Amino acid sequence: MTAKNKKILIIIIISVVIIFGVAAWLMSRPLLDENDENFGLMRQQMVKEDIVSRGINNTEVIEAMKTVPRHQFVSREQMASAYDDRPLPIGEGQTISQPYIVALMTEELELQPGHKVLEIGTGSGYQSAILAEITDEVYSVEIISSLYETARERLEQMYPGVKVSNHNGYYGWEEYALYDRIIVTAAPDHIPRPLIDQLVDGGIMVIPVGPPGWNQVLWKVIKEGDDVRTERICDVVFVPLLND
């Protein structure tokens, strides 16, 4: 066997060992019952280590993150990973956002009790639940029918005051406009004008903007009369905002 072939064989063996090691680790993580008390401890640890330690200091946001059971917004197979600080798949090519990003966007929204807030991209319903812990007027739009049905049923049981609609969120939800706050959980390639039009004067929108991939920016948009002011928050990666 040549030296080159030996090197290739060693690389293959190492790769196989790594793959089986990762698979064994994933299989070793238990499927937990959704009422398992360990989830509460995991949630508190997540907030302390992944949210507060990274600079989130809004009391209402922190309490909402401590309260909402993220594990109930993912599949049973994903429950053991529910309090990892990373996105998780929810089907249809969509994800439930990383907890830190959820907290950051909610804090930047400057949401107050009594505010009327519109969410574009219901997804699993987790962000809707965080908003509902802070204000009673939450409206959410989801374009994908299967996700809409699942989120609507889940929110009806847990947060019945949240109104959810199955339509194209690019155009907002004009029926209930105007909104004090708008939060967008998928990335268009520009800031949609209909969403700006549905903000009250002085209203705030938090939205990721950019092409699919690693060139997206999270923006804070403040409506000032007929003008808007934008503040750059950070670089982000979101699924694209569907506009069909």
Q: Which residues are catalytic?
A: 97
Q: CA nearest 233: which of 221, 225, 244, 215? A: 221
Dihedral through CA 175, CA 139, CA 206, CA 94, nearest 10? -110
Residue 2 phi/psi, 5° resolution?
-75, 165
* CB neighbour list of residue 153: distance below 8 Å, 6 or more residues apart: none
Angstrom distance (rounded) from CA 182 to CA 96 = 18
Q: How far is CA 67 from CA 37, 103, 163, 211, in A?
A: 13, 13, 20, 33
Q: In the structure encoding, which two tokens stand for residue 3, read together? A: 């030296």
Q: Which two tokens stand for residue 41?
A: 């401890």
Specify whether the backbone of 182 is left (phi greater than 0), alpha (psi in -120 to 50) or beta. beta
